[in-house]
Structure 1
């Protein structure tokens, strides 16, 4: 049975992650990196302004983003980064982790694994081409056929188990939620859409959450590091099964191990590391009692 939770008012993800465009032109690797990093910083300034109710600062951030070409240029850079000659899409890492588990359990590429990809950019990534998954893809601004235009935080809750998933992908999505409590709410909401764990299954892969973040979110934040992220995920009933850190990104695969989360503790924003070069990425859990 799906765990019923009291709905909280949520902020639309449109305040954070920019939407997509359909036909990006090629831009250089250096320009791609610079544009993404700059807009990331501006989005953080905008989120802080929204949280403080500072409309002037919010408008200033919007103006700077527009001067760089706006969300269209940002998405062009994001799509360009998924090209094979730029390192490929993040689902390649996921498939590297899952294929041995599939092999060990005898699972074949029969499309039986139900997957929800939040913030989908393409219908031809490694997961889509593998044949293992029955894919559902959503994004704030769909690029076309195969990607539903939908905000995950406004997606209707499942009414039965047929509407839940074996795996959810949040690749470079959580970092675009406008504020720390909203990020905690998104992680909590994944529990409503994942299947309940079945301890009788012969494999140890599902249900699970694939999470990808910019590496500085955990390696250079004042308020977040890997031990804290793991404590937060453990509190939600997740156990880390795989992880990978590169210069730019961190990849995690979290398996859901608890059938029902009776109580989720509160995790507040607190400084872990000082320094003027740190960023302010954080995740806040507001607690939950069933």
Structure 2
């Protein structure tokens, strides 16, 4: 399936830092402060790059280095993945899948279900240990066996249906893309790697696959100027997705989207429009360049 997109496909390395292993423990408050500061600086850096402002870019890079650079940031990110900090997001996915079909636990990798985990940090999370999926894990800068070092936005497109996946995981990945247009391009690109919506599944699997598991920081949806739940639903519906499951906690929002129909044609444009006002709002947004703009 081809997806027509305007503009360049950006590398994820502009937004998501490399991983490191076995980070030292960082306090909860320090973790939150470091992550928030880094996000703000990365956004300012992306703006400076877009304007060609080399001096501002260099100044911001110096600020990032003063915070400990990407390595320190990744330590904080991985610290947030520890079980005592909310833990493995794929546990939510597996709970949903088992609720939707209790017989799924009887399936094995021999069933042929394929999962692509983008931004993988571990080979021992719940989806990997389930024994249900043939896993393919990728990350921008893998430092673990079993995780391929690869940028999703540069991953070669599937040659045929056998190279497509039944489910893709974007857990805390979309928010690392530094701009709204890039986030839209990433969501469009998931359609290239998922099986077609008319794929023939057994009765046990019908209504669950092909699907997209997505996790975002809750404020991206609950406290953004440019995003809310209804707007997210509209964007995903245009891409052919239907929301099957969702869960919002104080820190995270989880979604399971089922691919039910082909990409809308003509493709609707979603611009960066203010949906909420207020000085306390963040600027998370998703832009889709439709057929007419």
Superposition TM-score tier, normalisation by shorter sequence? over 0.9
TM-score with structure 2 setting the length: 0.92
The structural deviation recorded for 1:58 is 2.2
**Contact 2:3/2:188 (CA < 8 Å) preserved in 1?**
no
What's the RMSD between the two structures over aligned residues?
1.9
The equivalent residue for 2:2 is 3
**Contact 1:102/1:108 (CA < 8 Å) preserved in 2?**
no
The equivalent residue for 1:17 is 16
Aligned residue runs from structure 1 range 207-286, under 5 A: 207-259=210-262, 261-286=264-289
**Contact 2:98/2:104 (CA < 8 Å) preserved in 1?**
no
Structure 1: give runs of 5+ residues left out of the alignment.
none
3-state SS of the aligned residue for 2:137? strand
The structural deviation recorded for 1:6 is 6.2
**Contact 1:51/1:179 (CA < 8 Å) preserved in 2?**
no
Once the two structures are overlaid, the 10-residue window that deviates more, 145-154 or 76-85, is 76-85
How many Å separate the matches in 2 of 1:37 and 1:23?
Answer: 21
The structural deviation recorded for 1:75 is 1.1
Work out whether 1:37 is the aligned partner of 2:36: yes
How many Å separate the matches in 2 of 1:166 and 1:84?
Answer: 27
3-state SS of the aligned residue for 1:211? strand
Once the two structures are overlaid, the 10-residue window that deviates more, 31-40 or 233-242, is 31-40
Once the two structures are overlaid, the 10-residue window that deviates more, 100-109 or 52-61, is 100-109
Moved runs in structure 1, 4+ residues, more than 4 A? Answer: 4-8, 104-107
3-state SS of the aligned residue for 1:92? helix
TM-score with structure 1 setting the length: 0.93
3-state SS of the aligned residue for 1:218? helix
3-state SS of the aligned residue for 2:141? coil
The equivalent residue for 1:101 is 100
The structural deviation recorded for 1:166 is 0.4
Aligned residue runs from structure 1 range 132-281, under 5 A: 132-198=132-198, 200-201=200-201, 202=203, 203-259=206-262, 261-281=264-284
Work out whether 1:60 is the aligned partner of 2:63: no
**Contact 2:6/2:289 (CA < 8 Å) preserved in 1?**
no
3-state SS of the aligned residue for 1:264? coil
Q: How many residues align?
A: 288
How many Å separate the matches in 1 of 2:186 and 2:106?
Answer: 30
**Contact 2:239/2:263 (CA < 8 Å) preserved in 1?**
no
